[in-house]
Structure 1
Amino acid sequence: MLLDVARIAAHQVERPAAPLTTYLLGYVVGQGMDPAVAMGKITELAANWPPGGEVAK
Protein backbone atom coordinates (compact mmCIF):
# COMPACT_ATOMS: atom_id res chain seq x y z
CA MET A 1 0.00 0.00 0.00
CA LEU A 2 2.77 2.44 0.88
CA LEU A 3 4.55 1.96 -2.44
CA ASP A 4 1.25 2.41 -4.27
CA VAL A 5 0.71 5.76 -2.57
CA ALA A 6 4.28 6.85 -3.37
CA ARG A 7 3.82 5.87 -7.02
CA ILE A 8 0.53 7.75 -7.30
CA ALA A 9 2.01 10.90 -5.76
CA ALA A 10 5.15 10.73 -7.88
CA HIS A 11 3.39 10.19 -11.18
CA GLN A 12 0.18 12.18 -10.79
CA VAL A 13 1.54 15.15 -8.83
CA GLU A 14 5.36 15.43 -8.87
CA ARG A 15 8.19 13.14 -7.82
CA PRO A 16 9.13 15.16 -4.71
CA ALA A 17 5.56 14.67 -3.45
CA ALA A 18 6.13 10.94 -2.85
CA PRO A 19 8.06 11.08 0.47
CA LEU A 20 5.85 13.77 1.95
CA THR A 21 2.71 11.94 0.90
CA THR A 22 3.84 8.66 2.46
CA TYR A 23 4.81 10.51 5.65
CA LEU A 24 1.38 12.12 5.86
CA LEU A 25 -0.30 8.77 5.20
CA GLY A 26 1.61 7.27 8.13
CA TYR A 27 0.74 10.24 10.31
CA VAL A 28 -3.02 10.09 9.73
CA VAL A 29 -3.08 6.30 10.10
CA GLY A 30 -1.16 6.71 13.36
CA GLN A 31 -3.83 9.17 14.49
CA GLY A 32 -6.50 6.51 13.94
CA MET A 33 -7.70 6.92 10.35
CA ASP A 34 -8.43 3.68 8.52
CA PRO A 35 -5.56 3.02 6.06
CA ALA A 36 -7.95 2.26 3.18
CA VAL A 37 -9.83 5.53 3.77
CA ALA A 38 -6.58 7.51 3.91
CA MET A 39 -5.33 5.91 0.70
CA GLY A 40 -8.65 6.64 -0.99
CA LYS A 41 -8.43 10.30 -0.05
CA ILE A 42 -4.83 10.55 -1.26
CA THR A 43 -5.70 8.84 -4.53
CA GLU A 44 -8.63 11.20 -5.08
CA LEU A 45 -6.52 14.28 -4.35
CA ALA A 46 -3.74 13.13 -6.67
CA ALA A 47 -6.16 12.27 -9.47
CA ASN A 48 -7.66 15.75 -9.30
CA TRP A 49 -4.34 17.61 -8.89
CA PRO A 50 -3.97 20.28 -11.57
CA PRO A 51 -1.23 19.75 -14.19
CA GLY A 52 2.09 21.32 -13.27
CA GLY A 53 1.16 21.50 -9.60
CA GLU A 54 -0.70 24.76 -10.07
CA VAL A 55 -3.27 25.31 -7.34
CA ALA A 56 -6.27 27.51 -8.10
CA LYS A 57 -6.57 30.54 -5.86
Structure 2
Amino acid sequence: MASLSNLPEIDIYQTLKELSAKGYVQTMRPGDTGIGFTLESLLNITENNSGEPDF
Protein backbone atom coordinates (compact mmCIF):
# COMPACT_ATOMS: atom_id res chain seq x y z
CA MET A 1 0.00 0.00 0.00
CA ALA A 2 1.27 3.47 -0.85
CA SER A 3 2.22 5.85 1.90
CA LEU A 4 -0.57 8.32 2.52
CA SER A 5 1.89 11.17 2.02
CA ASN A 6 2.41 9.99 -1.58
CA LEU A 7 -1.28 10.05 -2.47
CA PRO A 8 -2.76 13.02 -4.30
CA GLU A 9 -5.24 15.03 -2.29
CA ILE A 10 -8.70 15.22 -3.85
CA ASP A 11 -12.00 16.72 -2.82
CA ILE A 12 -13.92 13.43 -2.88
CA TYR A 13 -17.29 15.12 -2.37
CA GLN A 14 -16.76 17.46 -5.33
CA THR A 15 -15.29 14.68 -7.48
CA LEU A 16 -18.25 12.36 -6.84
CA LYS A 17 -20.65 15.24 -7.53
CA GLU A 18 -18.96 15.79 -10.91
CA LEU A 19 -19.14 12.07 -11.72
CA SER A 20 -22.81 12.00 -10.73
CA ALA A 21 -23.55 14.96 -13.01
CA LYS A 22 -22.36 12.86 -15.97
CA GLY A 23 -25.33 10.56 -15.48
CA TYR A 24 -25.27 6.88 -16.39
CA VAL A 25 -21.80 5.42 -16.94
CA GLN A 26 -21.47 2.03 -18.62
CA THR A 27 -19.37 -0.40 -16.59
CA MET A 28 -15.87 -0.85 -17.97
CA ARG A 29 -15.74 -4.52 -16.99
CA PRO A 30 -18.37 -7.24 -16.71
CA GLY A 31 -18.98 -9.20 -13.54
CA ASP A 32 -19.06 -8.40 -9.86
CA THR A 33 -15.86 -6.33 -9.92
CA GLY A 34 -17.05 -4.08 -12.74
CA ILE A 35 -18.52 -1.28 -10.66
CA GLY A 36 -15.46 -0.99 -8.41
CA PHE A 37 -13.09 -1.06 -11.38
CA THR A 38 -15.16 1.57 -13.18
CA LEU A 39 -15.26 3.91 -10.17
CA GLU A 40 -11.52 3.50 -9.53
CA SER A 41 -10.82 4.19 -13.21
CA LEU A 42 -12.93 7.35 -13.13
CA LEU A 43 -11.05 8.44 -9.98
CA ASN A 44 -7.68 7.64 -11.63
CA ILE A 45 -6.88 4.96 -9.04
CA THR A 46 -4.58 2.28 -10.44
CA GLU A 47 -5.95 -1.26 -10.21
CA ASN A 48 -3.96 -3.32 -7.71
CA ASN A 49 -6.00 -6.53 -7.23
CA SER A 50 -5.44 -6.31 -3.48
CA GLY A 51 -8.12 -7.15 -0.95
CA GLU A 52 -6.84 -4.29 1.19
CA PRO A 53 -8.56 -0.88 1.11
CA ASP A 54 -7.05 1.78 -1.17
CA PHE A 55 -6.93 4.29 1.68
TM-score by length of 1: 0.32
Q: Which has the higher helix share?
A: 1
Q: Which has the higher contact order (CA 8 A, sep 6+)?
A: 1
